[in-house]
């Protein structure tokens, strides 16, 4: 079906705007995936704040030009679905990885992070990145560990004195 020039310009503008603010991109081949499964994928992407769009390769090449995702142009062959992580760099990778495990026909082509094109085999690395809340909790536990250890160490000195005094008291009571 032919798309009017105004519609093409709007698609390019929308994808460019999303790509400009995105943290990572994942490309996949969706051939053979049923409409019901694609609907589930879109719903899951919305819940995880992932921008998901099927775009013609020629329009996608124009949309990602002058963005950090310009490197994906070399893998734009065949039907392509684009997933952009807007808040969490690993969100798109997690969504598409989970979906590809459930659907054999769905094949991840490539991913892009920080202007670098990565092979589809690197999807696990990106998918295992912690979310912002997880990263904060890890950082806080690392920051809290020395303080906790210091408090335990400082508490141990009076506890040792108390145990020693109790041992002396018990010895004197046994001797009497």
CA atoms within 13 A on the CB side of 83: 32
Q: Where are the domains of the chain?
A: 5-129, 130-176
Question: CA-CA distance, 76 to 57, in Å (whole number)?
Answer: 6
Burial 102-124 (b: 16+ CB within 10 A, else e): ebeebbbbbbbbeeebbebebbe
Q: If you classify domain 5-129 with CATH, what class do you get?
A: alpha beta
Report the distance separating Cα 27 and Cα 43, nearest Å: 18
Model confidence pLDDT, tens digit, residues 35-89: 999 999 999 999 988 999 888 888 888 888 888 888 888 888 888 899 998 888 8
pLDDT in tens, 1-47: 677 888 888 888 888 888 888 888 899 988 888 899 999 999 999 99
Q: What pLDDT does residue 1 have?
A: 62
Q: Are 75 and 27 in contact (CB under 8 A)?
A: yes
What's the residue count for the chain? 176
How far apart are the C-alpha atoms of 123 and 129, rounded to whole Å?
10
* CB 26 within 8 Å of CB 118: no
Quick one: the chain helix, strand, coil %, rounded to 5?
A: 60, 15, 25
Is the backbone of residue 94 left (phi > 0), alpha (psi -120 to 50) or beta? alpha
């Amino acid at each position: 079906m032919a798309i009017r020039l105004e519609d093409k310009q709007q698609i390019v503008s929308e994808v460019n705007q999303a790509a400009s603010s995105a943290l990572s991109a994942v490309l996949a081949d969706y051939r053979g995936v049923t409409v019901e499964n694609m609907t589930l994928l879109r719903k899951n992407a919305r819940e995880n704040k992932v921008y998901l769009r099927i775009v013609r390769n020629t329009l996608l090449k124009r949309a990602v030009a002058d963005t950090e995702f310009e490197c994906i142009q070399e893998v734009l062959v065949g039907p392509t679905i684009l997933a952009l992580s807007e808040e969490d760099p690993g969100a798109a990778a997690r969504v598409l990885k989970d979906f590809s495990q459930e659907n054999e026909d769905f094949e991840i082509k490539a991913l892009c992070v920080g202007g670098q094109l990565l092979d589809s085999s690197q999807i696990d690395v990106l998918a295992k990145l912690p979310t912002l809340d997880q990263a904060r909790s890890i950082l806080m536990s690392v920051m809290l560990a020395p303080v906790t250890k210091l408090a335990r160490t400082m508490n141990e000195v009076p506890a040792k004195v108390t145990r020693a005094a109790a041992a002396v008291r018990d010895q004197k009571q046994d001797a009497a």
